[in-house]
């Protein structure tokens, strides 16, 4: 993740309902946290999912992955760092690091892959359909020369 130009940080506090019988965060909650962090990332760079959708551009998830390294527990404050790992006119991949705020311990890593599509769910090339949005996102993509 070192080659990325920008990171967004989202802080959440683990709610009791997010934990399982073992007292740790249930694994599916990480996918929800990724979505919250991804939405924050887009907002942080001056865009909005709502505005893109009004323009007819959608961003469905086609793949998601999470590697669990250490458990998060009830009432932990969690930092989710979000990066653009890869960007092209037809897709974007976001990468995530989940850390416990108290000790900066890495709890999980993951990614989500998305396609740019129109309202009919047909793939589009964002660079051609909304070049201004594509150019803005490109500023936060990894530096390929690094």
Whole-model pTM over 0.85: yes
From residue 22, give the alpha-carbon distance in Å to each of 16, 26, 102: 12, 9, 21
Name the CATH superfamily housing domain 8-138.
Hotdog Thioesterase (3.10.129.10)
Q: Sign of the CA dihedral 57, 51, 35, 133?
A: positive
Distance CA 105, CA 66 (A): 16
- Whole-number pLDDT of residue 145: 44
Spell out, as residue ranges, where the chain has pLDDT lower than 70.
1-5, 143-146
Sorted by where each begins, the domain ranges of the chain are: 8-138
Residues marked active site are found at: 20
Distance CA 126, CA 93 (A): 14
- Whole-number pLDDT of residue 10: 97
Q: Sign of the CA dihedral 75, 109, 43, 140?
A: positive
Three-state SS at 20 = coil
pLDDT digits (tens, 9 = 90+) for 27-66: 999 999 999 999 999 999 888 889 999 999 999 999 999 9
């Amino acid at each position: 993740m070192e080659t990325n130009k920008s990171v967004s940080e989202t802080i959440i506090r683990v709610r009791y309902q997010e934990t399982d019988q073992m007292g740790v965060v249930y694994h599916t909650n990480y996918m929800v946290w990724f979505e919250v962090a991804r939405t924050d990332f887009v907002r942080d760079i001056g865009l909005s999912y709502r505005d893109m959708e009004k323009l007819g551009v959608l961003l469905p998830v086609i793949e998601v992955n999470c590697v669990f390294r250490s458990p998060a527990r009830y009432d932990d404050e969690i930092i989710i760092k979000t990066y653009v790992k890869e960007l092209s006119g037809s897709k974007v991949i976001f990468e995530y690091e989940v850390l416990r705020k108290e000790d900066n311990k890495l709890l999980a890593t993951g990614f989500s892959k998305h396609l740019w599509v129109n309202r009919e769910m047909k793939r589009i090339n964002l660079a051609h359909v909304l070049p201004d949005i594509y150019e803005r996102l490109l500023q936060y993509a990894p530096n390929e020369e690094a």
